[in-house]
Structures are given as C-alpha cells and as structure tokens.
Amino acid sequence: MNHMVSILLDEELANFIGKKGSANGITFFNRKSGDDVIVVLFPTNPAEKPYGIAESILVSEQIILSTKNVDKDLGEAIVAASLSGKKVLFTDDNDVSKLLPQGTLSDSPVISRDKLLETILAFKADGASDTLRIDIDKAFPVNGVGTVVLGVVISGTVKVHDTLHHTSGKECSVRSIQSQDVSVQSAGPGTRVGLAMKGIDHDEMDKGDVLSTSPIRKVGKLTATVHSSPIAKESIHEGATYTLASNFSHSVVKVASISGESVTFDLEKPLPIAKGDGILLMRSQVPRVFASGTVSSV
C-alpha cells in the first residue's frame, strides 16, 4: 500500500521516515518496506516559499506535526493542518494540547516516534475514484528514454501504454512506469511515479500540470465554497488578493464576487483545476494558510 504523508516541520523527522529524494518546492523522502511505501512531502523553504506548505498538505493523505519545537512555526502549521480535513498526527515531544483551537484537532493522536511508522501504515484512505489523475512535479529528458515525468497518482490507476490527456490538451502515452526505482506495469492512488512518456516533450510540461483520462484544462476563473480559520480573523471581501494553491500549482488570485460561503476568484496565472478539487488560500501575514475550499465550478 502507498501512503502520502506531509511533514510541515522537522526535516530530521522526515529523514527518520525515509531517504531524501528529489526537490522542487517540496522535498520528497521515500521509504519502501515489502509491499508498503511511504512518501513524505516536506516544504523545502517555507519562509520564502509558503506555497510548499499548502501543496504538501493538498497532495498528502496524512499530516504529521512535530512538537519538537513549540514556536510560531508550529502554531502556523496547526492552523494549516486544521483546515485540511485530513488525518493529523502529533509527535509526543511536547504537550501542545493548550495550543489547539477549541474543537479542532483535539482528537488527533499523539504518537511516539517509535510508533510512528506503524501508525502511518495502518491508515486507509476513504473511497477511491476510477478517474485517473496524475499531478506532475517535475519533467526532464533522459538519454535513451526520452521524456520522463515525476508525479503523484491522485486517483485511478495508470498502466503502461495508457493514452492520457495533458493539461495543454495534447494526447500522450505511457511507455513505462517506475515506482521507487522499480519498473511496474501499473500504479494506483498515492503512488509516486516516474513515467516515460511518448508524444510530448519535457519542455511542454511544468510543475502543477496534470495527466488524466478526462481532460483537465487550465482555468482563469473558478468558484469555490470557502471556509476561513477563526484564528486568522481574515475577512474575505471583493477585490482582496491572495495566493491560491491546488495540489502542485499556485497562483495569485483576486476575489471577484462573494455570495455567502461561495467565492469566485480571478486567477493571475491559469491553473489546471477541476470541479471538486480542494484548494488552500494564503495571505502575507502569519498564519499564511488561512482558508480552505472545494471548487464548485470552473
């Protein structure tokens, strides 16, 4: 089984769980044990690239918050994790129960480091979709192979020889698949994959692009149901500007209109987003990740 885990703080903990791999705003740490694979997503430089916090949360199934240091960074991470709607684990380095917002994350397990791996592996994600979607974090050329894409299978199962739609609208096919440096014939949800592609060049793909069975095109406007953290005390209003993150992509957005909890955004940079996708909103002051939402129309 494959497990995607976000660790927002404590690179030492990420190193404990897995071996350091590629980095592109997010550093990946990988651990394989028998049929089980854990991939940790760690924001590479959140001080300068806060979108890494949001992206790692959106792509992961579980979030681990290290309580090794009880400081403003942990406080910000707690707010971001509380907006995710995902399983959150705390390490037992320090008691942070008094820092948790009332009714938020109070039931989250507190785990010792020696029990962390088995707790991660015991988790089973809810539901599954048959629609194949792979979110890309890197593409590059390899001599003798051609275009190689690194990404995460968000839903569905990718198979060798599959014909897929790229964000650009271009069709391409999967020549071969690798997962954890092993060639495989297929890969399911939560798998970090390397795909050798046919019919598309590496310079036609960017981080945040999508490969899918049903086309997911870039959009310049979207509407989402948005919920703000009460801790942030941010009043979203028409004309306000934020940064919106969706999986491995992000863009500056402007609030075009508001109707109750429904907010319409104009995107400065079009992003590949589909109805039902989760989003996180960021602002300049701490806590930077202050609201979450679900896309209702594009």
Whether 227 maps to a domain, the answer reads: yes
Question: Which pLDDT does position 284 carry in this prediction?
Answer: 93
Whether 127 maps to a domain, the answer reads: no
Q: Which of 212, 237, 272 is the last residue of a domain?
A: 212
Q: Are residues 208 and 224 in the same domain?
A: no
The total domain count for the chain is 3
Q: Are residues 239 and 202 in the same domain?
A: no
Q: Are residues 238 and 172 in the same domain?
A: no
User: Distance of alpha carbon 90 from its chain centroid, rounded?
Assistant: 19
Whether 128 maps to a domain, the answer reads: no
Beta-bridge partner residues of 60: none
Whether 106 maps to a domain, the answer reads: yes
Whether 59 maps to a domain, the answer reads: yes
The whole-angstrom separation of Cα 108 and Cα 18 is: 23
Q: Are residues 10 and 108 in the same domain?
A: yes
Whether 240 maps to a domain, the answer reads: yes
3-state secondary structure 62-91: EEEECCCCCCHHHHHHHHHHHCCCCEEEEE
Mapped onto helix, strand or coil, the DSSP state of residue 201 is coil
Q: Are residues 36 and 57 in the same domain?
A: yes
Domain that holds residue 68: 2-122
| Helix and strand element counts for the chain (H, E) | 4, 22
Q: What is the pLDDT of residues 256-265, one digit of tens each?
A: 999 999 999 9
Is the CB of residue 165 less than 8 Å from the CB of residue 213? yes
Q: Are residues 185 and 238 in the same domain?
A: no
List the 87-91 sheet strands across, edge first: 19-23, 26-33, 36-43, 2-7, 62-65, 87-91, 110-111
User: Distance of alpha carbon 76 from its chain centroid, rounded?
Assistant: 17
Low-confidence ranges of the chain (pLDDT < 50): none
3-state secondary structure 134-184: EEEEEEEEECCCEEEEEEEEEECCEECCCEEEECCCCEEEEEEEEECCEEE
Q: Are residues 38 and 83 in the same domain?
A: yes
Q: Are residues 248 and 277 in the same domain?
A: yes
Residue 102 DSSP symbol: T
Whether 53 maps to a domain, the answer reads: yes
Question: Which pLDDT does position 128 carry in this prediction?
Answer: 62
Report the CATH number that the domain containing residue 223 is assigned in CATH. 2.40.30.10
Q: Which of 180, 212, 244 is the last residue of a domain?
A: 212
Q: Which of 197, 212, 227 is the last residue of a domain?
A: 212
Q: What is the pLDDT of residues 128-186, one digit of tens each?
A: 677 899 999 999 999 988 899 999 999 999 999 999 999 999 999 999 999 988 999 99
Whether 248 maps to a domain, the answer reads: yes
Q: Are residues 53 and 114 in the same domain?
A: yes
Report the CATH number that the domain containing residue 102 is assigned in CATH. 3.40.50.300
Q: Are residues 197 and 234 in the same domain?
A: no
Q: Are residues 137 and 207 in the same domain?
A: yes
Is the CB of residue 73 less than 8 Å from the CB of residue 65? no
Q: Are residues 224 and 207 in the same domain?
A: no
